């Protein structure tokens, strides 16, 4: 039997054998959750002119500086400046112009006084003399300055960053291509939800769990169920490798009479990186390269399947997508009760914690239903190989599932 490797080594080997996909050009409205492939420089200033931050009155500050001994100065009203107006007002001395938020300052104006601090009559407006030059004005290029770098290569494109690109005048960008992932479940007993279910059969819950995780990370995935037949499995894997960037199989990863996946991969000539990991649950996990594409073999039991995916396959897929921080987010927590591990093995425990508190308490989930436990868990605790016990109240690191 092939020797099992440690979890840390398995993860290291996974990441060492996967590189980011090539970049593609996309519009920013299709860039969400992609990774930027190159530094980006602003094409325009934002704002493109000095604009008002308030609804109020645009003035020349020199008109009130000469009247500093008075509480206010009366200025003649001269026109209206609105956001997007084609013709820019010109403001003579001794005058004030009504101005709306986002409007360009009239020529000659350098200050905006908010409307709540002035007194307006039919043809004049009283401006407080303590108004400060430049107040309520957003100078040209304050948010974005043309020619300056706005984003570095390798960042994940979030909604805020996409808005920044739009403001910078950038519409099409180079981003890492989104991985296309083939999810293949094996087993004569597996059925798609919505189809009739006979005794001894079950629905493909693993497949839909993995699909949801892929989609949550911005990847595209296809789902397929194949029976425990060597020829069918081989054909499904060959087609998946030809049409996708990565393949994940669910089930058939062990050495049972109908567990064909490892044997099929050997027949297809994959480069086996590892198969069997000292990880509980998830010991049957395997990984290799076939025709330049990463292939992950996951066990079929729901806890083993999900754990092997989250800890080994998902980081690999995220690296394929160029993600700057592959894997689950790690946060500090306090253990609510003692837990036991196994010497020489990495043991995983699904649990629940409240991330809003000052010291989040992690509580291992118990119960007979594996699926309910997985559905309710929002955190994952790993007990490393060198530990056999973690005490109640001990500080721990939890990987977030939600």
Q: Which domain holds residue 39?
A: 25-46+143-176
Are 313 and 389 contained in the same domain?
no
pLDDT score at 1: 46
**Could you say which DSSP state residue 61 is in?**
T
Element (H, E) at 240: helix 230-243
Do the bridges between strand 271-275 and strand 190-191 make them parallel or antiparallel, or are there none, so unpaired?
Answer: unpaired
DSSP type of residue 88? P
Count: domains in the chain: 4
Do you find a cis peptide bond into 83, omega within 30 degrees of 0?
no
Tally of CB atoms within 10 A around 374: 18
> What's 350's domain CATH number?
2.40.340.10
Kindly state whether residue 356 falls inside one of the protein's structural domains. yes
Strand partners, 126: 74, 119
Binned at pLDDT 50, 70 and 90, residue 289 comes out as: very high
Q: Do 86 and 9 reside in the same domain of the chain?
A: no
Instruction: Kindly report the pTM of this predicted structure.
Output: 0.87
Is 80 exceeded by the pLDDT of residue 175?
yes
354: confidence class by pLDDT, cuts 50, 70, 90: confident
Residue 325 lies in a domain: no
Q: Which CATH number characterizes residue 225's domain?
A: 3.40.980.10
pLDDT-based confidence at residue 2 (cuts at 50, 70, 90):
low
pLDDT at 45 over 70: yes
Residues 347 and 383: beta-carbon distance below 8 Å: yes
Q: How confident is the model at residue 24 (pLDDT cuts 50, 70, 90)?
A: very high
Residue 382 lies in a domain: yes
| Domain harbouring 33, CATH code | 3.90.105.10
> What integer pLDDT is reported at residue 215 of this predicted model?
95
Q: Which two tokens stand for residue 26?
A: 């996309």
Average pLDDT of the residues in 103-129: 96
Same domain for 187 and 272, yes or no, is yes
pLDDT for the residue numbered 84: 93
Residue-level pLDDT at 322: 96
Q: Are residues 300 and 188 in the same domain?
A: yes
CA separation (Å) from 295 to 9, 78, 178, 195, 326?
A: 17, 71, 17, 28, 17
Name 362's bridge partners: 335, 353
224 and 166 housed in the same domain: no
pLDDT digits (tens, 9 = 90+) for 362-375: 999 987 789 999 99
Q: Are 277 and 219 in contact (CB under 8 A)?
A: no
DSSP state of 268: H
Give, in order, the Cα–Cα distances in Å from 47 to each of 104, 146, 165: 9, 10, 13
Could you count the other beta carbons within 10 Å of the beta carbon of residue 71? 9
> Model confidence over 61-107: pLDDT tens digits?
999 887 767 889 999 999 999 999 999 999 999 999 999 999 999 99
166 and 32 in a common domain: yes
Mean pLDDT of the chain: 94
Task: Look at residues 261, 295, 320 and tell me which one is the last residue of a structural domain.
Answer: 320
105 and 159 together in one domain: no
Query: Domain check: are 110 and 61 in the same one?
Result: yes
* Beta carbons of 179 and 21 less than 8 angstroms apart: yes
Q: Is residue 225 part of a domain?
A: yes
- Higher per-residue confidence, 227 vs 150: 150
Tell me if 95 is assigned to some domain: yes
């Amino acid at each position: 039997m092939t020797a099992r490797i440690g979890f840390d080594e398995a993860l290291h080997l996974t990441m060492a054998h996967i590189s980011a996909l090539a970049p593609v050009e996309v519009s920013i409205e299709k860039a969400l959750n992609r990774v930027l492939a190159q530094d980006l420089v602003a094409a325009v200033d934002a704002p493109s002119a000095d604009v008002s931050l308030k609804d109020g009155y645009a003035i020349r500050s020199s008109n009130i500086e000469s009247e500093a001994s008075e509480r206010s100065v009366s200025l003649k009203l001269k026109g209206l400046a609105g956001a997007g107006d084609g013709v820019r007002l010109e403001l003579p001395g001794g005058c004030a112009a009504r101005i709306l938020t986002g409007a360009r300052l009239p020529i000659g104006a350098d200050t905006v006084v908010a409307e709540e601090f002035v007194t307006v009559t039919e043809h004049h407006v009283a401006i407080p003399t303590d108004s400060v030059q430049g107040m309520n004005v957003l100078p040209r290029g304050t948010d974005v300055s043309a020619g300056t770098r706005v984003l570095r290569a390798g960042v994940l494109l979030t909604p805020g960053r996409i808005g920044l690109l739009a403001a910078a005048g950038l519409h099409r960008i180079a981003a890492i291509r989104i991985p296309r992932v083939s999810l293949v479940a094996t087993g004569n007993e597996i059925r798609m939800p919505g189809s009739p279910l006979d005794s001894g059969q079950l629905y493909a819950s693993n497949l839909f769990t993995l699909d949801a995780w892929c989609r949550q990370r911005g990847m595209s995935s296809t789902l397929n169920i194949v029976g425990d037949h060597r020829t069918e499995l081989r054909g499904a894997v060959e087609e998946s490798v030809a049409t996708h960037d990565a393949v994940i199989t669910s089930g058939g990863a062990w050495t049972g009479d109908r567990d064909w996946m490892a044997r099929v991969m050997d027949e297809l000539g994959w480069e086996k990186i590892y198969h069997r990991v000292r990880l509980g649950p998830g010991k049957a996990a395997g990984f290799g390269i076939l025709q330049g594409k990463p292939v992950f073999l996951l066990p079929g039991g729901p806890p083993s399947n999900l754990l092997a995916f989250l800890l080994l396959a998902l980081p690999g897929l995220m690296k394929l997508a160029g993600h700057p921080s592959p894997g689950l987010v790690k946060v500090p927590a306090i253990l609510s009760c003692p837990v036991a591990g196994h010497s020489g093995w990495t043991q995983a425990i699904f649990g629940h914690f409240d991330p809003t508190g000052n010291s989040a308490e992690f509580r291992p989930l118990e119960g007979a239903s594996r699926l309910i436990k997985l559905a309710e868990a929002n955190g994952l605790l790993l007990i490393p190989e060198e530990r056999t016990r973690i005490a109640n109240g001990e500080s721990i690191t939890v990987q977030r599932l939600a």
